[in-house]
């Protein structure tokens, strides 16, 4: 097992047709396109799933001795979750029933199940503004070259209420254009 930074010299190629640069060895060795490799990204994403992004960078460094910005962890989590939908994260019926029983067990009345929904119109950066340059890195467009795209951010949360106790069941949000939003 290798621990710590490793320097690796690898040949770089440039495609004249598509104007993209690439390292063939990266694919052969299954290296990530990011500076941090898959195992480090996985550790950061696992931590980011448990605590707020504001604290994750500090906690990650304390636990691993390595640094990874909260912005990078946010991007990694976003990449991992790109194809996830609400049914992938919804708890099974048995678990919901168990939570209802735990919160209301032994009481005359069962807890109240609450559904809270909300939405907002938010500005986003369109894909056309991201741009590309030589190599693997992306170049951000200058602010003046594009106008923000407005999308709908919709979310909901199911939770149980019993007196002063609130028990989380499920929450979900998505940001999409009006056409994409279902």
Per-residue pLDDT tens over the stretch 21-67? 888 888 888 888 788 888 888 888 888 888 887 888 899 899 888 88
Q: What is the DSSP letter of 91?
A: P
- Return the SS3 of 176: strand
pLDDT at 155 over 60: yes
- Return the SS3 of 116: strand
Q: pLDDT category, 139, cuts 50, 70, 90?
A: low
Tokens at 30, concatenated:
């299954």
Residues 6+ apart with CB under 8 A from 28: none
Helix ranges, 69-138 (H): 70-80, 86-89, 93-104
| Tokens 């007196």 -> residue | 163
- Return the SS3 of 30: coil
- Distance CA(143)–CA(131), nearest Å, equals 12
**In Å, how far are 89, 123, 125, 176 from 118, measured between CA atoms?**
19, 17, 22, 14
Lowest-confidence segment of 38-47, 82-91, 132-141 by average pLDDT: 132-141
Give the pLDDT mean for 81-97.
87
**In Å, how far are 78, 103, 151 from 128, measured between CA atoms?**
19, 49, 15
Lowest-confidence segment of 9-18, 27-36, 138-147 by average pLDDT: 138-147
| Tokens 């931590």 -> residue | 47
Q: pLDDT category, 144, cuts 50, 70, 90?
A: very low
Closest to 53 measured CA to CA, from 38, 68, 35: 68
Tokens at 54, concatenated:
């504001």
- Please tell me the predicted confidence (pLDDT) of residue 182: 58
């Amino acid at each position: 097992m290798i621990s710590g930074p490793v320097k690796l010299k690898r040949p770089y190629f440039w495609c004249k047709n598509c104007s993209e640069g690439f390292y063939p060895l990266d694919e052969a060795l299954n290296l990530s396109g990011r500076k941090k490799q898959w195992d480090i990204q996985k550790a950061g994403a696992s931590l980011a799933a448990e605590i707020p992004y504001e604290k994750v960078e500090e906690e990650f460094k304390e636990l691993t001795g390595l640094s990874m910005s909260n912005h990078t962890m946010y991007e990694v989590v976003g990449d991992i979750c790109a194809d996830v939908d609400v049914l992938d994260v919804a708890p099974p019926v048995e678990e919901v029933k168990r939570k209802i029983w735990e919160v209301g067990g032994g009481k005359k009345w069962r807890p109240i199940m609450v559904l809270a929904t909300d939405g907002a119109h938010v500005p986003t950066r369109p894909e056309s503004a991201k741009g590309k340059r030589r190599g693997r890195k992306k170049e951000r467009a200058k602010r003046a070259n594009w106008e923000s795209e407005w999308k709908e951010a919709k979310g909901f949360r199911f939770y149980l209420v019993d007196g002063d106790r609130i028990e989380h069941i499920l929450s979900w949000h998505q940001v999409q254009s009006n056409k994409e939003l279902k």
